[in-house]
Chain A
């Protein structure tokens, strides 16, 4: 069970992890550009 879990989690996460980093950077930069161009409404908290 632990074996199976480790294999799936590690392999899939490793595959996802590589693209995930870039995807996060791209989405964040797009948001930054939208804010810079005043194309996003005011973001409250």
Chain B
């Protein structure tokens, strides 16, 4: 991991050189992602040719598993790391492009339901995390980071909050490791639970978007269930991400009042700085699709571009998951995070059932 951190030290490297440094890793993402897609297609073709009913395992799972195996058996060599780190860029680009598959009315309806559920989830998860943190003797700021990470959007929220509440580097590191470990497990567990409960695509997508912390994992878990569930998961998660600024601001004001963080001089500027800008891109593309700016084949092309971007993301999710490093991190933050996440999963499932009854999801 220490070597991974040095990879990011690119301040003295020229721009063209930095761009070239990305190429090997991006090619690795493409190779792993394509291997996943090829495996799915090959198994399906084999089943058809031999008249066998084989389980349809989505390319998403293959891409993640291949990435996980590569990273944890052989390790990701230094030369690939800058490019692998771009998986988040592909994720955000993919979300913007996915806007083409949503009419603004759907965005308003599902986004509104998600936001209402996020507010309830937020209040409950912060209360649960705070109680668990106290019970397990975690530092108050580590508890704050875990609460922010689990209620809003995982690593991005923790990073955004770390500076705002003047948290220790070690606390941020523990919180990130705990959220990543839980996210990796959630990715595989949620689809199994969803199938066991017989959730509809809409209900499952909404549940995953509300309960799985990292956007990449939420997108992957949704896509593992079905294409429609993947789209709804992205929409619900995007609505959740949009609240990041408000929550971080709330925590910043709380810790500033306790004289343990810098005061926030300009709240509007703070909110804008923390706001995930790709949400605006997603809305812009959705508006264009709604007003009929694109023809049907063009919508298909843009949606497929989004799929390719997600393919690279899913490969990155596997490649950046280092099981050994995660196991080295603190035990107690992981326990608190896991208990908190379990509670949040149950609460959000209840919210999804409630929303299903009210809005017929």
Contacts and interface: CB of A to CB of B under 8 A. Distances in A.
A43 B330 CA distance: 45
A28 B170 contact: no
Contacts of A13: 8, 155, 159
A21 B170 contact: no
A32 B97 CA distance: 8
A24 B173 contact: no
A32 B302 contact: yes
Given A9-B173, A35-B302, A25 B297 contact: no
Interface residues of B, number: 56
A8 to B, nearest CB: 4
A24 B91 CA distance: 8
Contacts of A43: 300-302, 304-305, 308
Interface of B: 1-2, 4-6, 8-9, 88-89, 91-93, 95-97, 100, 155-156, 158-160, 162-163, 168-174, 176-177, 273, 276-278, 280-281, 284-285, 288, 293-294, 297-298, 300-302, 304-305, 307-308, 325, 328-330
Given A17-B88, A25-B96, 16 more contacts: A3-B168, A9-B8, A10-B159, A12-B8, A13-B8, A13-B155, A14-B159, A14-B160, A14-B163, A24-B91, A24-B95, A25-B93, A31-B97, A31-B302, A32-B100, A35-B298
29 contacts: A1-B2, A2-B330, A4-B169, A6-B171, A6-B173, A7-B172, A8-B6, A10-B162, A12-B5, A14-B163, A18-B273, A20-B92, A21-B277, A23-B89, A24-B92, A24-B96, A24-B278, A24-B281, A25-B96, A25-B278, A28-B93, A29-B96, A31-B302, A32-B97, A32-B100, A32-B288, A35-B294, A35-B301, A35-B305
